[in-house]
Structure 1
Amino acid sequence: MPITIFIADDHVILREGVVAILGKRPEFEVIGDAKDGQAALEGICILKPDIALLDVNMPKMDGVTVAQIIQTRCPETKCLILTMHTEDQIFFDALQAGVAGYVVKGAGSRELIDAIKIVYAGEMYISPSMTKMLVTHHLQNNQTAPPRHLQQLTNRELEVMHLLAKGMTNREIAAQLFISPNTVQTHRSHIMEKLELNNRADLIRYAVQHNLLKG
């Protein structure tokens, strides 16, 4: 079965371009599109796609608000933001809304395709350029020392946390550290429990805010 996708963007040329790119891939099926947030929300809740590709700035309702509502009304749909915005506040607002991915417009079609597959597989995807910008910003403006309970993490858990926060999947981390994906998942669960985090979005915010992505 192909991965079903709904695309919402008020720019007709961009929306049609994404539809054309994804429509050529046998593993994808674009089942709907919309030019404003309200129409997107209604269409997504009716069609229940696997993935909703959302722009941030849209008439009637912005993409972050759409994503937040979708988490309640049709949580089976994973939201992936596709936007030109690289401001950290918008990014963190999107994470708080529960999005599973954030891709900056201008990324190649290969990155978008990979992002959709990663999000569909249950992982989170963030454009590398976005992560680098956020790390630089927080290293310059946030010198807060890590809280005491960070010391509860083992060296291996710190390694895994660092790679998770950079957007790597369990399999990629396993390959880099020469351990199994199941072991990565175990470390991940321990990290979440020790730091009282709920998901990867929380982990990324934590890592960036406390300067844990250096190196």
Structure 2
Amino acid sequence: MAPAAITIVLADDHAVVRSGLRFVLDAEDDLHVVAEAGTIDDAVRKTAAHRPAVLVLDLNMPGSLPSSLDALPELAAAAPDTRVVILTMQDDPQFARAALAAGAAAYVLKEAADTELVEAIRRAAAGEAYLNPRLGAQIAAAPPEPAGPPDDLTEREVEVLRLIALGHTNGDIGAQLYLSVRTVESHRAHIQQKLRRTSRAELVRYALDHGLLDDP
């Protein structure tokens, strides 16, 4: 029995681009485009409705949000199992770094879509990451960024995450940090959105991997 096809929502504000990409993707036996979107808001709606394995998302699209990256938290909440592949003309490594930090699984340049997009989609659907090789090399060669909270977490969110990982309840955390339980719950929701991890076990593993439980 053949494995199920990887379902895809294709989001780009140019119909001719969507048409060309759909032709390339639907030609692959294991890929199936289930819907298209022309705005950020449409992309969120179609993704929430279809829950595809992968959303191919143009970085610059019209809509109610400043950029497609601003939609990633909403997309993660609406379809937590959908992986996002950013497809763009922006070849600045800083954009790639920001996209991956915001939760995208892959960053592909439109100039290389015919050779890289199919591979990026397959890797994303398999739980892996993909970055255009040239941009990856530029990022690797760049000076390291100043140390700070990982994955855009605030200092307070890091404190809350550390206490969650140590096994404290929301009430315990509120008492230690002088916060209401509702505020702790809000911080926890933001942490889960940013990290795309929902279970306590996943949060503990993240905290361990990033040294958040090490002694100061």
TM over 0.5: yes
Partner Cα distance (2:33, 2:53) in 1: 10
| One-letter code aligned to 2:38 | K
- 1:1-215 aligned within 5 A: 1-60=4-63, 61=65, 62-136=67-141, 138-139=142-143, 142=144, 193=208, 195-196=210-211
Q: How many pairs are equivalent?
A: 152
Q: What is the deviation of 1:109?
A: 2.1
| One-letter code aligned to 2:26 | G
Q: Indicate if the aligned counterparts of 1:104 and 1:130 stay in contact, CA closer than 8 A.
A: no
> How far does the alpha carbon of each residue in 1:151-201 deviate from its partner, in whole angstroms, 9 at most, with x for none?
xxxxxxxxxxxxxxxxxxxxxxxxxxxxxxxxxxxxxxx99835438xxxx
| Alignment correspondent of 1:183 | none
> SS where residue 40 of structure 1 aligns?
helix
| One-letter code aligned to 1:55 | D
Partner Cα distance (1:69, 1:25) in 2: 29
Unaligned stretches of 5+ residues in structure 2? 148-204
User: CA distance change for structure 1 residues 75 and 22 in 2, over 3 Å: closer, same or farther?
Assistant: same
TM-score (ref. length: structure 2): 0.63
Partner Cα distance (1:143, 1:110) in 2: 31
Q: What is the deviation of 1:5?
A: 0.3
TM-score (ref. length: structure 1): 0.63
Partner Cα distance (2:80, 2:209) in 1: 27
User: CA distance change for structure 1 residues 35 and 193 in 2, over 3 Å: closer, same or farther?
Assistant: same
Q: What is the deviation of 1:129?
A: 1.1
Structure 1 residue runs of 4 or more that deviate by more than 4 Å after TM superposition = none
Q: Indicate if the aligned counterparts of 1:22 and 1:28 stay in contact, CA closer than 8 A.
A: yes
Indicate the structure (1 or 2) with the bigger Cα radius of gyration. 2
Unaligned stretches of 5+ residues in structure 1? 147-189, 198-215
| One-letter code aligned to 1:43 | K
Q: What is the deviation of 1:111?
A: 1.6
User: CA distance change for structure 1 residues 192 and 87 in 2, over 3 Å: closer, same or farther?
Assistant: farther
Partner Cα distance (1:131, 1:103) in 2: 11
